[in-house]
Amino acid sequence: MDGELGIFIQQTVNAISLGGTYALLALGLAIIFSIMGMINFAHGELMTITGYALMYCGLAGLPFYISAPLAVIVATGAAVLMERIAFRPVRNGSAASMLVTSFAVAIILQTLFQNLISTRSKAVILPDIFAQSVHFGDLSIGINQILSISLTVVILVLLNWFLRKTILGMAMRAAAEDFSVARLMGVRANAVIAGAFAISGALAGAAGVLWVAQRASVDPLMGFVPVLKAFIAAILGGLGSLTGAVAGGFALGFIEIYLAAYLPDHIQPYKEALALGLVIAILLVRPNGLIPAATIGKEKV
Amino acid sequence: MTTTLLDVKGLCVHYGAVEAVRDINFSINEGEIVALLGANGAGKSSTLNAIVGLVPPHSGSVTFVGNDLVGQATEAVVRLGITLTPEGRRVFGSLTVEENLLLGSFPLADPKTQRATNLEKMFSLFPILAERRQQIAGTLSGGQQQMLAIARSLMSSPRLLLLDEPSLGLAPQIVDTIFDQIVELRAAGITILLVEQNVAMSLEVSDRGYLMASGGIVAEGTSEQLSSSSIVEQAYLGHE
């Protein structure tokens, strides 16, 4: 196979894999935003919690195929608790108080990780197979990326099925569009919001597993950067739009990976700035994002 | 012996310092169509929102067949058998007609069996909705959206339907159709509180009525009495 083409294919696989992780995270942010009108900046800490769950499961000697779903369950539970303890009391407050609450939750959790676990990065035991690759001619693709892409696809299909085909999914879409009227239909506000947090926690958990599987370590601030990226992806896609969040996640993954692969060496230090510059350029053309939400400007909870 | 379904006593609703509803009393008996009339801003919608718990009343009591509604969550009130078709229709625009209707069945005690039956009932009451079943609700015409909004409220087999301004923003012909359908609903045994600015048409289809102005009830009686009362004639019917 041609070398140039081989590199291009490999970078595309990288882009899909990274974009998929951003897409899962951005979806989690978008689900909460579409229903509550709040950006949950503590979303990243759900990823970090997943990482620590994986670490402790590994230390306890559990195999990865058990510890990974377990870690996702831990993240889901943590998200539901977060809503119950921190966000429900401020639900009727302003968007600003909810935002500040989410920052507070993020910082409290980071502090707890630093003081109760370690300020430093801890190793996570991963199965050996994750380091292996599959070879197609002279093209080699990491097992870990194949798993990551497959898992992302499965999750997106499942979520789409849930939102379109189940009555609970319909209730969530209705609540995202008009919360008061959804309540007039007898949809329980607390149940829908708790459900949204559970889904967003499971998505953060899945993204956390994928993130850690690439790095084999976890640290207290691990969630910050990917969630910032996911926030950018969600805005790029159209804040509050679920399809937009997926589109934005993949778009950002492609922008980052291609810039890192094809920018000349002396421009590489500016790649983050260039990536964000591109995002802004896209937003100048499409101010409401790639696929805007149907309900922009409507009243939330 | 008639059963009183809804009994409102001394209801006051405040928004901050603004008194939207001031000490009103009214009741609805099973099987009636009762009209709650008045100009824009008279306090009609606030009254409805207070009944279903979307806004907390400042004071007063709201009783629905023996259940005290004050302080209950909207989703709990709906489960007792009251549904509100909100002003401006507010169908879920990004969902299909069928999905909108299915959501209306949420409060049913036994959704599995009743949902399909009610869906068929709605399709025979509003045949246009059966035709448009898979269409995205936001692309329906105003009149069709109003029918969908009413049908959605009926999906839970309510005992009392609160209709907020069903004629708002619709062409006169479509308004006629909607009012014909309201009469049909009563024939089907549904009790209705009809909130309207269109006083003349509402008095034609209703049994009794209450007239609101600046937050209070200023006239009440049978629809015939109200049609011939001087206050209603002068203010709303435009008779000389």
pLDDT confidence of residue A299: 45
Q: Please answer yes or no on whether A184 and B95 come within 8 Å at the CB atom.
A: no
Q: Please answer yes or no on whether A186 and B79 come within 8 Å at the CB atom.
A: yes
Q: Contact, B126 vs B55, CB < 8 A?
A: no
DSSP string, A32-63: HHHHHS---TTHHHHHHHHHHHHHHHHHTT--
Q: Is A170 on the interface with B (CB under 8 A)?
A: yes
Q: Please answer yes or no on whether A181 and B107 come within 8 Å at the CB atom.
A: no
With the CA atoms of A170, A172, A178 and A183 taken in that order, what torsion angle do they form, in degrees rounded to the nearest 10? Answer: 90
pLDDT above 80 (res B10): yes
Alpha helix locations (H) across chain B? 44-51, 74-79, 97-104, 111-125, 127-131, 142-154, 172-187, 199-205, 223-228, 230-232
Q: Please answer yes or no on whether A180 and B74 come within 8 Å at the CB atom.
A: yes
Q: Please answer yes or no on whether B102 and A167 come within 8 Å at the CB atom.
A: yes
pLDDT confidence of residue B41: 85
Bridge partners, residue B11, by sequence: B24
pLDDT above 60 (res B61): yes
| Residue A300, domain member (yes or no) | no
Q: Please list, residue by residue across A245-280, b when 16 or more beta carbons sit within 10 angstroms of its beta carbon and e when fewer do.
A: bbbbbbbbbbbbbbbbeeeeeeeeeebeeebeebbe
**Which amino acid would we find at residue A6?**
G
Q: What is the CATH number of the domain that holds A160?
A: 1.10.3470
How far apart CA A175 and CA A154 sit, in angstroms, is 25
Query: Across chain A, which distance is largest between two alpha carbons, in Å?
Result: 61
Give per-residue pLDDT as tens, B145-165.
999 999 999 999 999 999 999
CATH assignment of B1-81+164-172+180-240, among 3.40.50.300, 3.40.50.720, 3.40.50.11780, 2.60.40.1930: 3.40.50.300
Q: Is B93 on the interface with A (CB under 8 A)?
A: yes
How far apart CA B161 and CA B30 sit, in angstroms, is 11
pLDDT confidence of residue B144: 94
Q: Please answer yes or no on whether A183 and B138 come within 8 Å at the CB atom.
A: no
Q: Contact, B61 vs B10, CB < 8 A?
A: yes
pLDDT confidence of residue A297: 44
CA distance B92 to chain A (A): 6
Q: Please answer yes or no on whether B75 and A173 come within 8 Å at the CB atom.
A: no
| Residue A68, domain member (yes or no) | yes
Task: Please count the structural domains in chain A.
Answer: 1
φ/ψ region of B65 (left if φ > 0, alpha if ψ in -120 to 50, else beta) reads left
pLDDT confidence of residue A284: 94
CA distance B127 to chain A (A): 22
Chain mean pLDDT for chain B: 91
When CB atoms are compared, the residue of B86, B99, B138 closest to A170 is B99
| Residue A32, domain member (yes or no) | yes
A–B interface: beta-carbon pairs under 8 A:
69
pLDDT confidence of residue A300: 45
Residue A51: name the closest of A129, A133, A109, A128 by CA. Answer: A109
What's the distance, Cα to Cα, between the start and end of chain A in Å? 56
Give per-residue pLDDT as tens, B27-57.
999 999 999 998 888 899 999 999 999 999 9
Q: How many CB atoms lie within 10 A of CB A244?
A: 26
Interface test with A, best of B46, B48, B95, B106 (most A CBs within 10 A): B106
pLDDT confidence of residue A301: 46
What sign does the dihedral A110-A113-A119-A121 (CA atoms) show?
negative
Give per-residue pLDDT as tens, B63-113.
999 899 999 999 999 999 999 999 999 999 999 999 999 999 988 878 888
Q: How many CB atoms lie within 10 A of CB A138?
A: 9
pLDDT confidence of residue B139: 94
Q: Please answer yes or no on whether A183 and B156 come within 8 Å at the CB atom.
A: no
| Residue A170, domain member (yes or no) | yes
Query: Across chain B, which distance is largest between two alpha carbons, in Å?
Result: 56
Q: Is B9 on the interface with A (CB under 8 A)?
A: no
How far apart CA B233 and CA A89 sit, in angstroms, is 50
CA distance B230 to chain A (A): 37
| Residue A152, domain member (yes or no) | yes
pLDDT confidence of residue A86: 96
Annotated domain spans of chain B: 1-81+164-172+180-240, 93-158
Q: Contact, A75 vs A49, CB < 8 A?
A: yes
Within 8 A of B153 by CB-CB distance, chain A residues are 184
Q: Contact, A121 vs A219, CB < 8 A?
A: yes
Q: Which portions of chain A are predicted below pLDDT 50? A: 296-301
Q: Please answer yes or no on whether A185 and B152 come within 8 Å at the CB atom.
A: yes
Q: Contact, A226 vs A40, CB < 8 A?
A: no
pLDDT above 50 (res B21): yes
How far apart CA B163 and CA A184 sit, in angstroms, is 13
The backbone torsions φ and ψ at residue A27, rounded to the nearest 5 degrees and listed phi first, read -60, -40
Give the residue from chain B lying closest to A187, CA to CA: B75
When CB atoms are compared, the residue of A177, A183, A188 closest to B92 is A177
How far apart CA B211 and CA B227 sit, in angstroms, is 11
| Residue A200, domain member (yes or no) | yes
When CB atoms are compared, the residue of B52, B75, B99 closest to A187 is B75
| Residue A28, domain member (yes or no) | yes
How far apart CA A54 and CA A71 sit, in angstroms, is 6
Confidence band for B240, pLDDT divided at 50, 70 and 90:
very low
| Residue A294, domain member (yes or no) | no
Domain limits for position A264: 3-126+135-285
